[in-house]
Amino acid sequence: MSKARKLRDLINAPEILVLPGVFDGFSARLVGASGFAAGFISGAGISEASLGWADVGVMGLEENLRVCRALVACCDLPLLADGDTGYGNAVNVHFVMRAFEQAGLAGLMIEDQVWPKRCGHMKGKEVISAEEGAEKIRAAADARRDPDTVIMSRTDALATHGIAEVIRRLNMYAEAGADLLFADAVLSAEHITAVTKNVSKPVCVNMGFGIRRRSTTPLFSARQLQDLGVGVVIYPRLLTAAAVKGMKNAMAALGESLKSGEAVDRPDLLVSFEELNALVGVAELEAIEQRYLTPEQFRRKYENATHEAKAS
């Protein structure tokens, strides 16, 4: 079964699909190792982690595609990519869809913001017309070579036009070929229920998991969202925010060591070298090496090194 088919089946299953946000090799492997069935590639996460700039349209197609291609290659998860606005008009979306599909992505999200876009929970958003948004979705649907490849349409119209327009747009996008409908930055359970009860395709909601702001979506558990009719929940900023917090804690510990002049051992802040190696596939790489190295190469690389280590 293809990854696209797996993702489509997971979306259409009775139980809500939980998609943690991934943005690099560590996060992609960790989501898989934690038992999740699929992942959502956070465009914000790529922009922030790879470029060091906020999700306000600084990142272009090639940087996004480069990271997504690497994530597909390093894990077995079906991954849903963030295609931003499609980087242009419907013609551009045609080629963007082809590029992400060729890179091995199981699905692609296209949103209806004006480019340069911004994170859905930031101020200053603008949206294109519903008609242009629908044509972008139609272009993506027509361009995909595998009919199982999932298209998620996102609208940011709530901040600019209200909930009725959100519902109207999502239904237009569903008719144009979207398989999954995403109303970003909804403000209440009532908004979520209004969407799920009045659109024709499965609904996705974005959860912050501790990064709540008063002006955006309140926090709900996956079970609560399922009870509201939601089919998919994404946690796009969970792992990026956790990574930054972990790095800040480690830097603080290093600062303490420098001030005191003493070595500080803080295993509570770090995974072990062995755990890190297990996560990033060292055992798999060694197995490949042992399969193809000549006996002489293997002895030179490992047996001699072991003898030298013992001698020292």
Where in the chain are the domains?
Answer: 3-242, 281-312
- What is the average pLDDT score of the chain? 93
For a pLDDT cut of 90, what percent of the chain falls above it?
83
For a pLDDT cut of 70, what percent of the chain falls above it?
95
Give the model's pLDDT for residue 29.
Answer: 98
Q: d(Cα 119, Cα 184) in Å, to the nearest integer?
A: 10
| CA 10-112-97 angle, 5° bins | 55
Give the mean pLDDT of 93-97.
Answer: 98
Burial 90-101 (b: 16+ CB within 10 A, else e): bebbbebbebbb
Give the model's pLDDT for residue 310.
Answer: 46
Class of domain 3-242: alpha beta
Query: Please, which pLDDT band fits residue 307 given cuts at 50, 70 and 90?
Result: very low
Rg (CA), the chain: 22
Q: d(Cα 244, Cα 20) in Å, to the nearest integer?
A: 16
HEC profile for 256-269? Answer: HHHHHCCCCCCHHH
Give the mean pLDDT of 112-133.
Answer: 89
Query: Does 113 score more than 60 pLDDT?
Result: yes
Give the model's pLDDT for residue 187.
Answer: 87
Give the model's pLDDT for residue 304.
Answer: 67
Among candidate residues 60, 68, 119, 66, the one with its CA nearest the CA of residue 86: 60
> What confidence tens digit (pLDDT) does each residue in 223-263 have?
999 999 999 999 999 999 999 999 999 999 999 999 999 98
Are 93 and 140 in contact, with CB atoms under 8 Å apart?
yes
**Which of 9-23, 24-38, 143-157, 208-222 is the least confident region?**
208-222
Are 56 and 84 in contact, with CB atoms under 8 Å apart?
no
Q: d(Cα 139, Cα 97) in Å, to the nearest integer?
A: 8
pTM, rounded to two decimals: 0.92
Q: d(Cα 174, Cα 140) in Å, to the nearest integer?
A: 12
If residue 80 lies in a helix (H) or strand (E), which one and from where to where?
Answer: strand 79-82
Query: Please, which pLDDT band fits residue 283 given cuts at 50, 70 and 90?
Result: very high
* DSSP code of residue 211: -
